[in-house]
Structure 1
């Protein structure tokens, strides 16, 4: 079965200004053979007229869109996708680290297929309230109307992934436990990763996850772990435990709109050496034919203007 692979990676400061580390990161991605890459912490990628970013695209044989301020980026396989729109004019002033948002069309799905939105984001590091605001605005890309070839107005499917700087809501068997805040020794970090509960006691921040799922988006790792063919490894850590910053955590997550979930055929987390980056790589595999069907069936038929 032909598949599509979507990966999401916060390569620490895009290699921390070290070309050798960037090349190591490129090689890790190349081995995963991705069709779509959601990147965060692009760092110096805008130096010298986007030269670094273009070099990274060329190294992977991909094309890409670098978001404002080099905070985020999306790379895609040009043999499989056409770029329909870059939402650079629609991101708004609501993000500390602006997301990259584009609309792609799957070539194999044919001319009557809907395109779909792809968003790479990096939620604010230091403010739970800001993260909640940003998560609310992210949901707008799961609500974009589009005129389908049959003349009807449809909502575009969406793939939305990034560094959440917060935790998934508990309740999924096999998921990592929320940290005991007292185990986070770095006091500013403890503040950054928590919010005050209704009783005034600080609790780990899970609000962005709750917000995205309230809007109908589904955490793909949670979905796959709960599916008949799924595996608990989908819920593996994406950030390692440290003495100062607390236990293993699943900070990096990818969300899909519900119509794309039947296309999921696998979710893995590929661990990255800590001398390359402080984040690991969630990788989502989608069945090509099922994904194409989701773009041509126009289900559910929700009318939008």
Structure 2
């Protein structure tokens, strides 16, 4: 693994979330190109989905990806998701192997200490997740279980028990609830040509009418987790690109959509300094990269009790 990049208190932290299609579709050269692209963005945290195959041959692919990224990695159950972190910036304190009973693709969750905030600082929970593609009912239950990661506690130096900030990112296989006109519009159900996919992306709403699935987004926001792209789009005068598509329109799945999102508890929003989407060729992946930047000094002030 390449040397840690570390973080000064005046630095900007980069967090990336990416569902790399089938982890490079079994093509080692494609997987290498994709992770070199991630490495070129100098991330401190990478939250990956579709890590399939990384567990084979004694996690050989995971070690390969650690080396390319220059980050330490943790692979979740069923090689569905992973978290990579810069060891000079984030100190792992614990893993959360029990993530709930109904996951089609289990998340990877850890508690980290942000080293710049000091040894007595409050930690934060980091989760990479992938909500199931085929069942809106199960996705809602998965989102409800994700909310438990916004409910972890820590005892401060003064003996006070407080909730720990949380940062979650992944492929939601569902849509953000339409709150702002700048967001990618919800597709019309009939604009999705693939009939099974119509079922996968919708549910029966009030009055028996089938509507597009926004319930995971609504559930996470009820639980105090904010969509950082939506936050940044209104907090910054140049924030509109934060709401860019993360999946391109296609014949079967319908129009452009913002399926991939980063969520944070509200206490972390003050450290956000940018959110955008880095588009990749569709020959590399069917999802684009979501990038968030955090100000290290602001994050230190939030965590240093």
Partner of 1:81: 90
1:239 is the counterpart of 2:247: yes
Aligned mates of 1:144, 1:127 — CA distance in 2: 28
| SS at structure 1 position matched to 2:168 | strand
Partners of 1:148 and 1:154 within 8 A in 2: yes
Aligned mates of 1:110, 1:140 — CA distance in 2: 26
Alignment of 1:254-273 (within 5 A): 254-273=262-281
1:27 is the counterpart of 2:36: yes
Partner of 1:300: none
Deviation at 1:144, TM superposition (A): 0.5
Partner of 2:298: 290
Q: Which residue of 155, 160, 184 corresponds with 1:147?
A: 155
1:7 is the counterpart of 2:16: yes
Aligned mates of 1:228, 1:49 — CA distance in 2: 45
1:274 is the counterpart of 2:282: yes
Partners of 1:94 and 1:137 within 8 A in 2: no
Aligned mates of 1:55, 1:149 — CA distance in 2: 39
Partners of 2:39 and 2:70 within 8 A in 1: no
Aligned mates of 1:285, 1:102 — CA distance in 2: 20
Partner of 2:133: 125
Aligned mates of 1:119, 1:245 — CA distance in 2: 27
1:137 is the counterpart of 2:157: no
Partner of 1:47: 56
Deviation at 1:173, TM superposition (A): 2.8
| SS at structure 1 position matched to 2:280 | coil
> Once superposed, which parts of structure 1, at least 4 consecutive aligned residues long, lie more than 3 Å away?
none
RMSD of aligned Cα (Å) = 0.9
Q: Which residue of 161, 171, 177 corresponds with 2:169?
A: 161
Aligned pair count? 296
Deviation at 1:30, TM superposition (A): 0.9
Q: Which moved more, 1:224-233 or 1:101-110?
A: 224-233
Aligned mates of 2:214, 2:191 — CA distance in 1: 17
Aligned mates of 1:230, 1:217 — CA distance in 2: 23
Kindly provide the CA deviation profile for residues 161-209 of structure 1, in whole angstroms up to 9, marking residues without a partner as x. 1000000000213101100110100000111000011111111100000
Aligned mates of 2:179, 2:199 — CA distance in 1: 23
Aligned mates of 1:229, 1:293 — CA distance in 2: 24
Q: Which runs of 5+ in 2 are unaligned?
A: 1-9
Partner of 1:185: 193
Partner of 2:108: 100
Partners of 1:230 and 1:266 within 8 A in 2: no
Aligned mates of 1:15, 1:150 — CA distance in 2: 48
Aligned mates of 2:158, 2:58 — CA distance in 1: 41
Deviation at 1:28, TM superposition (A): 1.0
Deviation at 1:230, TM superposition (A): 4.3
Aligned mates of 1:231, 1:87 — CA distance in 2: 33
Query: TM-score, structure 1 length as denominator?
Result: 0.96
Deviation at 1:119, TM superposition (A): 0.4
Partners of 2:171 and 2:259 within 8 A in 1: yes
Partner of 2:69: 60
